[in-house]
């Protein structure tokens, strides 16, 4: 039997190499979305398929299983370090999953994701769902097959949601979302009846938007030696190495605040990644050094987007800067109102905090229907439009602004959408805990003490990694179970205070 040091060392070396390969995959993804010319898509799809196959082979190999077993044996026999125990639990769970999958399915999925993304882009620019439908059907079939092969005591949708939201059950999700299903439509209806100041259409120069984003991240402490920014059709944040963090933003014509808010949002994601534990160099490769769930990730991006950038004190500090480059703001209130329209629209990414949840309820219901309840792909656009009319009172004019607007399904990501809304709930509940501990986030925005806020987040959220799952983390920080109440309280108070500037 190898010594404990050898067993852990060999396992660590294996994980490190896996992480190297995984981060190469991420680099290809980054390039694909920021710079790759369109005709490069097919070769890139083959590259990604090759890497996915290699990664799956590494993560399911007998050699790796032996390394893991040896480390577990040492842990059982002597050193019961709880953190390494948690690492082993997570690694064993993932090994079990990877070993359940047929390599042919892994390759087919990688290829279908690349094809799906490519077809979705074409379908969206032609606003024609039928161009994408066959690819979506393939992805659904493959994902259903994946869930079958994984053979967990979970429903198909639940099984697919695990990589994003570990331990989430549909029943729990429904319980968390029930108050939102009831209250959000009421609040939207209420907000729509209130008089709203008319705002003329306006826009900002692309270069001004870029400058404002640079200033924002400068003010928020960006270190250019470890971070960079680019443009992509859909903003995202990605980590390519232990000292290589990247975000993208985009400029949307006619939506002069979109780029700025997307930057704030993605920077929140990046701050979470930048704050993940790194006590030893291996943490980047070990599970505990990774994000615990997409909902927690989203709670961090939403914090900086909504609690900071959409706050009143932020508008007080920034409105003049926006006015300088052409925004029609004669005071902070104008900026705050532009940041918080509180009016339902068709677009999820540009939605305000009030109607955002309704977008997610629609998508969540639809993907569960597609995967588990027999909704046919061809019926998706009608079903989508019907629900938008019902819940938000608006109806898409075409597929591009309807069911083709989001990228996720084109990459076979099912089970991902709820994380966005859970992120709102978590952000609100963490913010309450923060308020008790160090004072309201808005107070720190006013005082210019955002470093205090960041320090608190680093300590209570970022630095935890995967030591706890999302709900355990929230419970530890806020001393109560996750619920929709803090979010509803926050949003109702924001609505109430709207008139009392």
What does the per-residue mask of binding to a second copy show for 8-47, with x meaning CB under 8 A? ---------x--xx-xx--xx-xx--xxxxxxx-xxx-xx
Query: What part of residues 243-262 is at the interface with a second copy (CB under 8 A)?
Result: 243-246
- Please identify which of the residues 158, 165, 266, 298 carries the catalytic annotation: 266
- 410-420: burial string, b at 16+ Cβ within 10 Å, e else: bbbbbbbbbbb
What does the per-residue mask of binding to a second copy show for 410-429, with x meaning CB under 8 A? --------------------
Contact 287, 166 (CB under 8 A): no
Toward a second copy, which CB reaches closer, 58 or 395? 58
Spatial neighbors of 267 by CB under 8 A, at least 6 apart, are: 216, 217, 220, 222, 237, 247, 301, 304
Spatial neighbors of 264 by CB under 8 A, at least 6 apart, are: 216, 304, 305, 308, 309
What does the per-residue mask of binding to a second copy show for 45-64, with x meaning CB under 8 A? -xx--xx-------------
Q: How far is the CB of 34 from a second copy (least distance, A)?
A: 8
Half-sphere exposure of 322 (CA within 13 A, CB side): 27
Q: How far is the CB of 207 from a second copy (least distance, A)?
A: 9
Tell me if residue 266 is catalytic: yes
Toward a second copy, which CB reaches closer, 20 or 175? 20
How many C-beta neighbours within 10 Å does residue 65 have? 16
For CA atoms 425, 298, 222, 226, the dihedral sign is positive
Toward a second copy, which CB reaches closer, 51 or 407? 51
Q: How far apart are CA 206 and CA 339, in angstroms?
A: 18
Q: How far is the CB of 176 from a second copy (least distance, A)?
A: 38
Residue 328 as a binder of a second copy (CB under 8 A): the answer is no
Toward a second copy, which CB reaches closer, 291 or 295? 291
Contact 377, 360 (CB under 8 A): no
What does the per-residue mask of binding to a second copy show for 208-237, with x meaning CB under 8 A? ----------------xxxxx-x-------
Toward a second copy, which CB reaches closer, 49 or 300? 49
Spatial neighbors of 482 by CB under 8 A, at least 6 apart, are: 176, 422, 425, 426, 429, 470, 471, 474, 475
Q: How far is the CB of 246 from a second copy (least distance, A)?
A: 8
Toward a second copy, which CB reaches closer, 18 or 398? 18
Q: How far is the CB of 226 from a second copy (least distance, A)?
A: 5
Torsion region of 215: left, alpha or beta (phi above 0 gives left; psi -120 to 50 gives alpha): alpha
Map residue 389 onto helix, strand or coil. Answer: helix
Q: How far is the CB of 23 from a second copy (least distance, A)?
A: 7
For CA atoms 309, 313, 318, 320, the dihedral sign is positive
Nearest to 88 by CA among 490, 27, 79, 306: 79
How many residues form the binding site for a second copy (CB under 8 A)?
36
Toward a second copy, which CB reaches closer, 16 or 154? 16
Map residue 398 onto helix, strand or coil. Answer: coil
SS3 content of the chain, % helix, strand, coil (to 5): 70, 5, 30
Which positions are catalytic? 266
**Contacts to a second copy by CB under 8 A:** 17, 20-21, 23-24, 27-28, 30-31, 34-40, 42-44, 46-47, 50-51, 224-228, 230, 240-246
């Amino acid at each position: 039997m190898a010594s404990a040091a050898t067993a852990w060392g060999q396992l660590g070396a294996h994980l490190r190499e896996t992480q190297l390969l995984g981060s190469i995959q991420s680099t290809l993804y980054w390039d694909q979305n920021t710079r790759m010319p369109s005709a490069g898509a097919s070769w890139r799809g083959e590259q990604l398929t090759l890497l996915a196959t290699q990664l799956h082979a590494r993560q399911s190999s007998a050699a790796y299983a032996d390394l893991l077993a040896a480390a577990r044996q040492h842990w059982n026999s002597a050193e019961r370090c709880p953190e390494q125990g948690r690492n082993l639990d997570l690694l064993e769970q993932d090994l079990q999953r990877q070993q359940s999958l047929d390599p042919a399915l892994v390759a087919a999925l990688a290829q279908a994701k690349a094809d799906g993304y490519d077809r979705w882009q074409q379908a969206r620019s032609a606003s024609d769902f039928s161009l994408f439908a066959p690819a979506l059907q393939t992805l659904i079939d493959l994902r259903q097959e994946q869930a079958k092969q994984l053979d967990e005591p979970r429903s198909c949708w639940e099984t697919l949601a695990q990589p994003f939201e570990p331990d989430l059950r549909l029943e729990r999700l429904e319980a968390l979302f029930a108050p939102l299903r009831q209250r959000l439509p009421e609040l939207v209806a209420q907000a729509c009846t209130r008089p709203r100041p008319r705002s003329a259409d306006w826009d900002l120069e692309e270069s001004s938007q870029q400058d404002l984003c640079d200033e924002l991240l400068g003010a928020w402490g960006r270190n250019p030696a470890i971070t960079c920014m680019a443009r992509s059709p859909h903003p995202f944040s990605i980590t390519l190495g232990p000292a290589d963090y990247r975000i993208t933003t985009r400029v949307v014509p006619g939506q002069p605040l979109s780029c700025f808010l997307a930057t704030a949002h993605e920077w929140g994601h990046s701050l979470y990644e930048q704050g993940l534990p790194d006590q030893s160099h291996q943490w980047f490769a070990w599970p505990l050094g990774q994000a615990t769930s997409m909902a927690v990730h989203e709670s961090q991006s939403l914090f900086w987007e909504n609690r900071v950038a959409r706050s009143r004190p932020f508008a007080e500090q920034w409105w003049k800067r926006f006015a300088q480059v052409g925004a029609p703001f004669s005071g902070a209130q104008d900026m705050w109102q532009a940041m918080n329209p509180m009016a339902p629209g068709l677009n999820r990414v540009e939605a305000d905090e009030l109607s955002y949840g309704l977008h997610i309820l629609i998508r969540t219901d639809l993907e569960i229907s597609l995967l588990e309840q027999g909704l046919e792909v061809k019926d998706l656009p009608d079903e989508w439009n019907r629900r938008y009319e019902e819940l938000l009172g608006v109806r898409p004019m075409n597929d591009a602004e309807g069911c083709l607007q989001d990228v996720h399904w084109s990459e076979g990501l099912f089970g991902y959408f709820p994380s966005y809304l859970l992120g709102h709930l978590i952000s609100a509940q963490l913010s309450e805990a923060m308020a008790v501990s160090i004072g309201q986030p808005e107070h720190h925005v006013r005082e210019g003490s955002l470093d205090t806020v960041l320090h608190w987040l680093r300590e209570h959220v970022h630095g935890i990694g995967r030591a706890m799952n999302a709900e355990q983390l929230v419970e530890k920080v806020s001393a109560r179970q996750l619920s929709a109440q803090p979010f509803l309280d926050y949003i109702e108070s924001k609505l109430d205070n709207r008139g009392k500037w």
